[in-house]
A and B are shown apart, each in its own frame.
Chain A
Amino acid sequence: MKLEIHAPPDATAGAAVQVRIVLLNDSFEPVAVSRSALTGPDVVGVMAPQAVEATFGQPDEPLTLQPFTLYGRQREITFAKAGETELTARYEPTNGEALTASKKVRVRPAS
Chain B
Amino acid sequence: MSSRFARRGRSDNDDRTHQSQPNPLDPSGADHAIANEGFRRQPSRMLLMQRTVGNAALQRIMHSSSLAAPQTEGYDTACYCPMCKPERVYTDEPLAPSVQRASNAHDAGCTCPACSVSAQAQAVQRIPYEDEQAAGGSQQATQGQAGNASQNSAQNGNDADGGIMTVQEDFESEETDVLVDQGLHVAVVSGDENDVANVEEQANANAPATSSTLPGFSFQNAGMTGYAPIEITSRIPVDDLPHAFVDGGQTGTVVWAGGGGAGPRGNQGVGTIQTENQPTYVSQSNGVLSDSSAWVQAGTGDLTVTRSWLGAKAGDQGNGHYVTASAATRFNSHEILHVNSTSSIYNSTLKPMLDRVTPYRAKPDGSQSKVNAFFQSGAIAALRSAIDWGTAVSNFQTQDTAANAPMNTVDNNDLKSGTYPVDRGPGKIGGVDFQHRVTLPSEAAPT
Partner of B424, one of A47, A52, A80, A81: A52
A79 and B406 contact, Cβ closer than 8 Å, known pairs A49-B420, A52-B424, A57-B442? no
Report if B427 contacts A (CB, 8 A).
yes
Shortest CB distance A32–B (Å) = 22
Shortest CB distance B254–A (Å) = 8
Which of A21-29, A61-69, A70-78, A96-104 participates in binding chain B? A70-78
* Chain B residues within 8 Å of A, Cβ to Cβ: 232-238, 243-246, 248-253, 327, 406-407, 411, 415, 420-425, 427, 435, 437-438, 440-445
Contact-size category for A: 20 to 34
Complex CA–CA separation, A81 to B443 (angstroms): 33
Complex CA–CA separation, A52 to B411 (angstroms): 19
Which residue of chain A is the closest to B426 with respect to CB atoms?
Answer: A54
Complex CA–CA separation, A57 to B418 (angstroms): 10
The answer to whether A73 touches B425 (Cβ under 8 A) is yes
Closest 8 CB pairs of A and B: A43-B234, A80-B235, A49-B423, A47-B245, A54-B445, A78-B233, A57-B441, A52-B422
Complex CA–CA separation, A54 to B246 (angstroms): 22
Give me 21 A-to-B residue pairs in the complex whose CB atoms sit less than 8 angstroms apart, sorted by A's number. Answer: A14-B252, A16-B253, A43-B234, A45-B407, A46-B236, A47-B244, A48-B232, A48-B233, A48-B234, A49-B421, A50-B420, A51-B422, A51-B423, A52-B422, A52-B425, A73-B425, A75-B425, A78-B251, A80-B238, A81-B238, A85-B234
Complex CA–CA separation, A77 to B442 (angstroms): 25
Complex CA–CA separation, A54 to B443 (angstroms): 10
Interface core residue of A46, A49, A56, A57 (most chain B CB under 10 Å): A49
Inside 8 A of A80's CB, which chain B residues have their CB? 233-236, 238, 249
The answer to whether A16 touches B251 (Cβ under 8 A) is yes
Shortest CB distance B282–A (Å) = 47
Inside 8 A of B421's CB, which chain A residues have their CB? 49
Partner of A77, one of B233, B237, B444: B233
Complex CA–CA separation, A58 to B435 (angstroms): 20
The answer to whether B422 touches A49 (Cβ under 8 A) is yes
Inside 8 A of A16's CB, which chain B residues have their CB? 251-253
Inside 8 A of B253's CB, which chain A residues have their CB? 15-16
The answer to whether B424 touches A46 (Cβ under 8 A) is no
The answer to whether A46 touches B422 (Cβ under 8 A) is no
Shortest CB distance A41–B (Å) = 10
Inside 8 A of B435's CB, which chain A residues have their CB? 76
Which residue of chain B is the closest to A73 with respect to CB atoms?
Answer: B425
The answer to whether A46 touches B234 (Cβ under 8 A) is yes
Complex CA–CA separation, A50 to B419 (angstroms): 11
The answer to whether A77 touches B234 (Cβ under 8 A) is yes
Report if A18 contacts B (CB, 8 A).
no
Which residue of chain A is the closest to B265 with respect to CB atoms?
Answer: A47
Inside 8 A of A51's CB, which chain B residues have their CB? 422-423, 425
A47 and B425 contact, Cβ closer than 8 Å, known pairs A14-B252, A57-B441, A81-B236? no
Report if A4 contacts B (CB, 8 A).
no
Complex CA–CA separation, A56 to B190 (angstroms): 32
Complex CA–CA separation, A53 to B251 (angstroms): 24
Inside 8 A of A55's CB, which chain B residues have their CB? 445
The answer to whether A47 touches B251 (Cβ under 8 A) is no
A54 and B424 contact, Cβ closer than 8 Å, known pairs A14-B251, A15-B252? yes
Complex CA–CA separation, A78 to B435 (angstroms): 14
A53 and B236 contact, Cβ closer than 8 Å, known pairs A46-B246, A47-B411? no
The answer to whether B442 touches A54 (Cβ under 8 A) is no
- Beyond A14-B251, A47-B246, 18 extra complex contacts between A and B, CB < 8 Å: A14-B250, A45-B407, A46-B246, A46-B407, A49-B327, A50-B423, A51-B425, A52-B423, A52-B424, A52-B425, A56-B422, A56-B445, A57-B422, A57-B441, A75-B425, A78-B248, A80-B235, A80-B236
Interface core residue of A48, A51, A73, A80 (most chain B CB under 10 Å): A48
Shortest CB distance A36–B (Å) = 10
Complex CA–CA separation, A43 to B251 (angstroms): 16
Which residue of chain A is the closest to B440 with respect to CB atoms?
Answer: A57
Which residue of chain A is the closest to B234 with respect to CB atoms?
Answer: A43
The answer to whether A78 touches B245 (Cβ under 8 A) is no
Shortest CB distance B335–A (Å) = 12
Inside 8 A of B245's CB, which chain A residues have their CB? 46-49
Partner of A46, one of B235, B238, B251, B252: B235
Inside 8 A of A48's CB, which chain B residues have their CB? 232-234, 245-246, 423
Inside 8 A of A52's CB, which chain B residues have their CB? 422-425, 441
Inside 8 A of B251's CB, which chain A residues have their CB? 14-16, 78
Interface core residue of A16, A47, A56, A76 (most chain B CB under 10 Å): A47
Complex CA–CA separation, A33 to B437 (angstroms): 23
Shortest CB distance B60–A (Å) = 59
Complex CA–CA separation, A15 to B235 (angstroms): 11
Which residue of chain A is the closest to B248 with respect to CB atoms?
Answer: A78
Inside 8 A of A85's CB, which chain B residues have their CB? 234
